[in-house]
Structure formats: structure tokens, C-alpha cells
Amino acid sequence: MPKNKGKLVCMVVVFVLALTLSVGCFTRSNAEADDQPAPPPGMPSLKEIYKDYFEIGAAVNLSTINTHRSLIDLHFSSLTAENEMKPEGLQRTEGRFSFQIADRIVNLAVDQGLKMRGHTLVWHAQTPGWFFQDKNGNRIDQKAVITEEDRQLVRERLESHIENVMQYYAGKVYAWDVVNEAISDDGRYILRQDSPWFRILGEEFLEIAFRKAHEVDPDAKLFYNDYNIERPYKLNRTIQMLQSLLDKGVPIHGVGIQGHWSVGDSLAEVEQAIKKYAELGLEIHITELDIGTRDISAQGLARQAEYYRQAFALFKKYSDVITSVTLWGISDAATWRPNDNPLLFDKNREPKPAFWAIVDTDKSWEENKAYYLGE
């Protein structure tokens, strides 16, 4: 092939490829934009409304950072990865860390100037089985006799995971749920008896985890996170566990109250728990808030809105100790509780009465909506 003709063909190919790629990018970005309802003119921003009270956050995943991006940009000042930073998401195979997926969420937060909460370093669930296997592949937590060698092996894995993950995200993740859901639902025990961490290392696993986390990143805020720890059956045992660790000088900075509630649950119990945790000198995050209702009639959604209004009025009342409130999702189109319709935006990603209820907790949701949208 003549030299000049070959050069001309190459130039044409490059031009066609560039045009194809640019059209593809244009089409994809427009498709994403068209797939997201534009916020109504005059819609208020939650992060602006709550900026003098606490961070307002959302749990997201690789799908929702695209499909709910306009809502993220407008309303939230903090992000939490829904599953991507749990142990099975970062180290499915021993010694092979995979940060690429979680990085997309963390980098979005960093690029947009949002706070990033890390969830979670130590949990009995969504943790690969190899964490708890001996050198022969046997489950240590199921042995009749657990040796000191077994315990040391698991401790080293625990500390190694914390060290690698926290070093990697140092300076990007400002707060970590270090230990998740360790308190037993059985009132006879403080800690879960079925947790592999407890069965192998005993209650010491919490101390090991928090001390290692603080050693790796002294600037990170370290939280204990759990569900129903605002309820009487679990509250006092949680306080007993936290007080014991604090008495030993274990670096715990805060407690995460998850907040997977339903309309009708007691907010008086929540207030009592906030007071008790604050008395320990701990910062409080509401970490996984969603308030469910099966009734999606106008009356049902109004009842959900009123509960949200009261909840956020309570959070504002204690904003001297509550520094972050995170919704566990953004819309009912993407929630782990699909039958409970628990979030601020509906399945079409439109604002529900619950959204309007928290815009101004001194007014009804109808008043707020009318004021901002002129309806």
C-alpha cells in the first residue's frame, strides 16, 4: 500500500472512531439525564437546610450513583457505600484487595466535596469464610477446641484487613463503622454468641478492632454501629459494652443508631437512647435511616410524613451530639425494603410527602410543598 494512501486511511479511521466514541458518550450522558426527573423549580436542597445542624447523607451503590445522581447532587453532603466496602467487597480472597468498585463511590464523594463514611470493617455477615478457616481449611469457629494458634491467625487477618483498607482510604474516609451489629438480640447475652469473631476471639475482638483502626488512621472517627440499640431490650446492654471499652481507654468516638424503623415505632425511646449515649461522651450518627409503611394511600403517606417530621425535629433538638443523619437509600425504586416504601422519594424518584415534611419541621408537609412550589 502506498505510504500516503495508508496515512489517509489511518486518519479516516481515527476520525470515525473519535466520532463514534463522542456520539456514544453524548448518547449515554443524555440517556442518563433523560432517565432522571428534573427537580421541580424551586425545590429546596436538604443539605442546605441542614448544614447548620448535621451532615445529611445517603447510602448509594454503583447503580444509584448514576440513576439518582441529580438527587445526590442537590440534597446530600455525605455518602455511604451500601455494600461495596464490606469485607466481602474489598477482600473476597485472602491477600487480594479489590478497591476499584468502592473507589467509584469514594472518588465521587471526594470530587464533589462530600463527606465519606466507611461501612464496615468488622461484621459477622458479608465476610468471606476464609477469615475464619485454619491452615487446613477447617472452620475455626466450629471446632470443639480452638487453639491459641487459631486465635492468632484470625487476629492477624482482622488487623491486616483493617490496616490495608484504612491506609488505602486515609484522608478520604472521615468516619468508619469499625464494628457492626455485635450486640445480641438475646437478652441473656451482651454479644452475639453466633458471631465467628466472638466465638474465636471472645469479647476482645472489639477492642482489637478499635485499637488497630485508631493506630492506622488516628484522624478517623471510629463508630460502633447497630440496629435497635435505641430499644429498651438492647439499649442497656449496648451501653454496658461501650462503657466497658471506654473504661479500658479503647478509642471509640461515636455510636451509630441505624434507624430501620416503621411508622408507629416509639420516638420517645429514640430520644432516651440519644441522651444515654451522649452521657457516655459519644458522638451520634443516625446511620441507616428508613421509615417503612405498607400503606401508600394518601393517608398512609401523610402518616409516614408526620413520622419523618417528628424524627427530624428530634434530630435537630440534639444536633449538638448528632452530627450526621444518613438515609439508607434515596428512593423507593432502590431500597432493601421494597415492600415498605421507606424513603423520601417514590419509585419514580419524585418527592413524597415525607420529603416535604423534613424541609421545615415546624410546618406541615402540605405547607412546605405549597411554599416552595407555589401550589
Give the number of other CB atoms < 10 A from CB of residue 195.
21
Grouping H, G, I as helix, E, B as strand and the rest as coil, residue 278 is helix
Which residues, listed in sequence order, are joined to residue 331 by a DSSP beta bridge? 345
Please give the Cα distance from 202 to 181 (Å, whole number): 15
C-alpha cell at 55: 451532615
Helix axes 298-317, 365-373, angle to 10 degrees: 90
Estimate to the nearest angstrom the gap between the alpha carbon of 193 and the chain centroid: 25
User: Could you tell me the three cell numbers for 266?
Assistant: 416509639
Residue 297 region, left (φ>0) first, then alpha (ψ -120 to 50), else beta? beta
Cell of 368: 412546605
Q: Which of 55, 82, 84, 181 is catalytic?
A: 181
DSSP structural state of residue 141: G
Residue 102 CA to residue 84 CA, distance in Å, equals 5
Three-class SS of 95-136:
CECCCHHHHHHHHHHHHHCCEEEEEEEEECCCCCHHHHECCC
* Distance, CA of 354 to chain centre: 20
- What one-character-per-residue DSSP string does 59-82 give? EE-TTHHHHTHHHHHHH-SEEEES
Told to judge if 283 belongs to the known catalytic residues of this protein, a careful annotator would answer no
Cα–Cα distance for residue pair 103/100, rounded to 1 Å:
5
Contacts of 220 (CB under 8 A, 6+ apart): 118, 166, 170, 173, 174, 175, 176, 213, 214
Task: Assess contact for 241 and 206: CB atoms under 8 A.
Answer: yes
Taking the C-alpha atoms of residue 245 and residue 146, their distance in angstroms, rounded to an integer, is 24
Helix (H) and strand (E) counts in the chain: 14, 9
159 assigned to active site: no
Instruction: List active site positions.
Output: 181, 288
